[in-house]
Structure 1
Amino acid sequence: MTKPVEAGCGAAILDAQGRLLLIQRLKQPEAGAWGLPGGKIDFGERAEDTARREILEELGIEIELTGLACIAETIDAGDGRHWVAPVYSARIISGEPEVMEPEKHGGWGWFDLADLPDRLTSPIKDWLRAQG
């Protein structure tokens, strides 16, 4: 029996200095790694709406999506699932980031692209490859 592919989404949020907003995952897939905020797409919810909703739930910020940056894939990175996720470019339009779900996230931070954490999730690696 084959498993279904899961659909998620995320956003690459850059600040005025060109730093990237990352959160540290505490749960699988890729527990302990730093990645883009986002989450699972609910049936009937558009991916763009999911990205805005999930990031508001995770970090307490409202974002504006400015484009589709790439499509990310995570295949069995600790949860036995295959995830496909659009990753959007975005910017904060309201609020200051804070961890809203401490059971899911160990922290957040702004990172210079030349000085990213050692452990990164596959979607951030896909996003970095798409940036050239």
Structure 2
Amino acid sequence: MKAVFDDSKPIFLQIADMILEDILDGTLQEEEQIPSTTEISSFYQVNRATIQKGLAILVEAGYVYKQRGVGMFVATGANEKLQEQRKTEFDKMFIKPMIEEARRLELNKDDIWKLIMEGYDD
């Protein structure tokens, strides 16, 4: 998890995002217990209620589940679900606008592919 917060969004959302990144990159595996609210709170010097609010978002979204008296765990399928969500966001934020601009510039699929491959090889 990264240790620096910024003012771009509330800390509880940044905590949730950090945990999601750890799920996505495999730092946290499915069915693995995540650090407790006390551990996260102590590490980042953030109020436990803030941590709990971030974790509640993950529970509600189905990425994490609570096991009463034991802790919180990464849900089975969380990585796959997160990848699908990110692919959808990627398409909406980058691919669709790129295609719209390519059409305005009268670029065909081959032109776009060539530009992507040239950029990818850099």
Normalised by the size of structure 2, how large is the TM-score? 0.25
Specify which structure has the higher proportion of strand: 1
Rg larger in 1 or in 2?
2
Query: Normalization by structure 1: what TM-score?
Result: 0.23
Larger relative CO (CA 8 A, sep 6+): 1 or 2?
A: 1
Higher helix residue share:
2
